[in-house]
């Protein structure tokens, strides 16, 4: 039997709707203050505001029956320290980006080429707020297995329809 498809999870946008109005936290989200590595320098700098919805942890754990969950975020392994515990998630593997925020082929998002490297020949679903049609076309042309690239609105974060789409896609590609 083949391994489960990957579910590649970005933090900022899908789990943390950072672009929502600054003084209006989306419904169901709780405010957390964090100081991950590299957060704007000085110790006196205000901690990073992160909005997380604890219900998303249960939703992701339910999807873990069909997927192997992986952090695909600039938080890298620190997502296990700062994000996962607030959502009730176990420690997850993460993508160690060879280079962040650099140039990317064919007008794609910088993560896309590394997502394909990480996935190898496995099917995957990827949730991120920076996915475009160029990324979808790039993956379709170069990835040998099924892939779902699900763009999440960074003002809203993950919603019921997104979890339903991920569950439905996994059901269609189980045992690929």
Cβ atoms within 10 A of the Cβ of 62, count? 13
**Pick from 62, 33, 21, 37: nearest CA to 160:** 62
pLDDT tens digit sequence for 6-28: 999 999 999 999 999 877 888 89
Residue 29 has pLDDT above 80, yes or no: yes
Q: The tokens of 151 are what?
A: 């763009």
Greater pLDDT, 154 or 97: 154
What percentage of the chain carries pLDDT values higher than 70? 93
pTM: 0.92
Nearest to 152 by CA among 7, 15, 6, 44: 15
Reported as a pLDDT band with limits 50, 70 and 90, residue 54 is very high
Report the pLDDT value the prediction gives residue 91, as an integer from 0 to 100. 97
Please, are residues 126 and 115 in contact by the beta-carbon 8 Å criterion?
yes
Matching residue, tokens 């080429």: 113
H helices within the chain, ranges in order? 55-63, 79-82, 84-87, 112-119, 133-142, 160-172
The answer to whether residues 115 and 8 touch, using CB atoms and an 8 Å cutoff, is: yes
Q: Does residue 51 surpass a pLDDT of 60? A: yes
> pLDDT tens digits for 72-130?
999 999 999 999 999 999 999 999 988 777 778 788 999 999 999 999 999 999 999 99
């Amino acid at each position: 039997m083949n391994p489960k498809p990957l579910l590649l999870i970005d933090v900022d946008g899908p789990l943390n709707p950072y672009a929502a109005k600054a003084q209006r936290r989306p419904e169901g989200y709780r405010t957390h203050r964090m100081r991950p590595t590299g957060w704007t320098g000085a110790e006196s700098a205000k901690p990073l505001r992160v909005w997380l919805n604890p219900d998303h942890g249960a939703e992701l754990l339910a999807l873990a029956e069909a997927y192997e969950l992986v952090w695909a975020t600039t938080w890298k392994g620190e997502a296990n320290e700062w994000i996962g515990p607030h959502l009730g998630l176990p420690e997850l593997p993460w993508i160690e980006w060879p280079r962040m925020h650099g140039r990317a082929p064919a007008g794609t998002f910088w993560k896309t080429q590394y997502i394909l490297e990480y996935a190898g020949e496995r099917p995957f679903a990827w949730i991120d707020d920076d996915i475009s049609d160029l990324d979808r076309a790039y993956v379709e042309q170069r990835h040998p297995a099924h892939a779902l690239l699900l763009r999440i609105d960074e003002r809203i974060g993950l919603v019921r329809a997104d979890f339903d789409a991920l569950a439905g896609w996994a059901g269609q590609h189980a045992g690929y």
